[in-house]
Amino acid sequence: MTNTNRFVMPGTILGNTHEYNPGKGTYMVGENILAGTAGTATYAVNAGRNEVSVLSKKDATLGGEQGDKKLYISLGTEVYGKVMYIKEDLAIVRILAIGDVPMNQYIEGILRKKNMREFEIDKLKVEHAFLPGDIIKARILSLGDSRKIFLTTAMDELGVLYAKNQETESIMLPYDWKEMICPISGLKEYRKTAKPEFAHFNENEMNEEK
């Protein structure tokens, strides 16, 4: 087994059902097993079959101020965060991890509307891209002070990884580059989605509409 005991964010693909049984802190999209919470992915044998689980901070201590890994911050570094609140022209994000290093202190990310996507910025409504509670993948655009980082989600692979439907509270799946869909109700919500690695994503529609 590979990639044991690594820090993961919600929406990270951990394996598939041919290799593992889904355990605590995971959910499935087709044959893929994804992380349903931020934490440490663990792979173990349960009832004679490999099982993958995600232990949140409530379940396990990652150790050290930033775990056992050194933290290097530079422009373009990928970060993961939780949208705390939105305004007309920006979203405020709590940085949960920089690279694969989880943050044990509060660091604020500022995602300005002009950096949310690469086109038709004047037509974009922030609430159609991000909502409080969304888990996002972004990159560092510039550095403010030691507690503040400016972010971008303009590239296709950046954006919302994990979000819940406002009506059903179910985990939504990415539908195309601007929408996510509730698998229970079929209801869609606007989001600036991060292009996923699995086939559910409507890539043809993304390429046509963009």
At residue 54, what are phi and psi to the nearest 5 degrees?
-125, 120
| Contacts within 8 Å (CB) and 24+ apart, 172-175 | 173/29, 173/200, 174/200, 174/201, 175/200, 175/201, 175/202
Residue 65, pLDDT score: 41
Residue 26, pLDDT score: 87
Structure tokens at 144: 């403010």
Nearest Cα residue to 153 out of 202, 109, 201: 109
Q: What domains sit in the chain, N to C, each tagged with a CATH number?
A: 6-55 (2.40.50.100), 66-210 (2.40.50.140)
Show pLDDT as tens, one digit a residue, over the chain (210 residues): 444 567 787 888 888 888 888 888 888 887 888 888 877 888 887 777 888 888 875 543 333 344 455 566 678 888 999 999 999 999 999 998 888 788 878 889 999 999 999 888 889 999 999 999 999 999 999 886 657 889 999 999 999 999 999 998 888 988 888 999 998 889 999 999 998 765 444 444 333 333
Q: Which helix (H) or strand (E) holds 207?
A: helix 203-209
SS3 content of the chain, % helix, strand, coil (to 5): 10, 45, 50
Residue 101, pLDDT score: 81
| pTM score | 0.70
